[in-house]
Amino acid sequence: MRVFTTEVFAAFASLYDFGRAAALSLPVLLVSFVVAGGAAVVLGNRLITTRRPVRGSVADAFASWRWLGAVAVLAAIVAGLIVPLAALANEAWRSTSIRSIVLSSREAVINSLTLALVGATAVTMLAAAVGYARARATSTVGAGLDVLSVVLFTVPSTVVGIGLIGIWNTTSAWGALYGTPAMLVFAYLARFAPVGALASPAILRSVPESHEESGGCQREQAGCGR
């Protein structure tokens, strides 16, 4: 299917024209900035994602639609996840030697799990730091962080990948990491850190600042005692 992001990918991978790919990426980035900026203006200092209150009841305006919604969600999961996985399992079961296939792919499986663990840890740590800054920031800084997170999240993966290649595929000292597993970790950060950065402020804002001040006072008193 010919879509705009495939045009960007074709310009880079098929035509080897990085300038054309970068130019085609500009409209996507512009739309992302416009949408994110509009959301920031509408929301103001309110968080894009929220969490349920710890205390008190939560209004449920669609209680009568609950079962219908559950059936719709279950149907979507079956059609979009269970049926395709069952088809793949059926095809895999027809293989003459599943054991040899698994053993030959063992290194790839180990690399995938290891990089997923490292990437998830890095994404969580970065998202926690950015989320804390967002939760404690002023309205202007908070809106800026929201815009940046939304823009990074809405940019297509193709554009992100081409950007990473343009930055790291060089003969300078930066290029030493190109072609190493670190590039996959950078890709995880670029793709998933914005999601965590948008979700974590909702949790961190529920922690009163007085708790942080109390913790700081206790540390100071412990230092004085020593």
- What is the pLDDT averaged over residues 77-99? 85
Token pair in block for residue 206: 């529920």
Residue with the bigger pLDDT between 52 and 78: it is 78
Q: What is the pLDDT of residue 56?
A: 53
Q: What is the pLDDT of residue 170?
A: 85
- What is the pLDDT averaged over residues 159-179? 84
- What is the pLDDT averaged over residues 196-209? 76
> What DSSP string describes the chain?
---HHHHHHHHHHTS--HHHHHHHHHHHHHHHHHHHHHHHHHHTTS-SS----SSS----TTGGGHHHHHHHHHHHHIIIIIHHHHHHHHHHHT-S-HHHHHHHTHHHHHHHHHHHHHHHHHHHHHHHHHHHHHHHS-HHHHHHHHHHHHHHHHS-HHHHHHHHHHHHSSSSGGGGGTTSTHHHHHHHHHHHHHHHHHHHHHHHTTS-HHHHHHHHHHHHHHHHH-
pLDDT score of 224 more than 50: no
How far is the C-alpha of 145 from the C-alpha of 132, rounded, in Å?
11
Phi-psi region of 16 (alpha: psi -120 to 50; beta: other; left: phi over 0): left
Of 160, 161, 145, the C-alpha closest to 197 is 145
- What is the pLDDT averaged over residues 157-168? 83
Q: What is the pLDDT of residue 44?
A: 61
Residue with the bigger pLDDT between 154 and 116: it is 116
- What is the pLDDT averaged over residues 96-100? 73
pLDDT in tens, 23-56: 887 887 788 778 777 766 666 666 666 655 555 5
Token pair in block for residue 61: 């305006």
Helices 157-168/18-43 angle, 10° precision = 120
- Cβ distance 188 to 119 under 8 Å? yes
Percent of the chain predicted with pLDDT > 90: 18
Q: What is the pLDDT of residue 106?
A: 84
- What is the pLDDT averaged over residues 112-140? 87
The count of other CB atoms within 10 Å of the CB of residue 204 is 16
- What is the pLDDT averaged over residues 155-168? 82
Lowest mean pLDDT among 32-41, 131-140, 143-152, 161-170: 32-41
Of 122, 145, 148, 125, the C-alpha closest to 133 is 145
pTM over 0.75: no
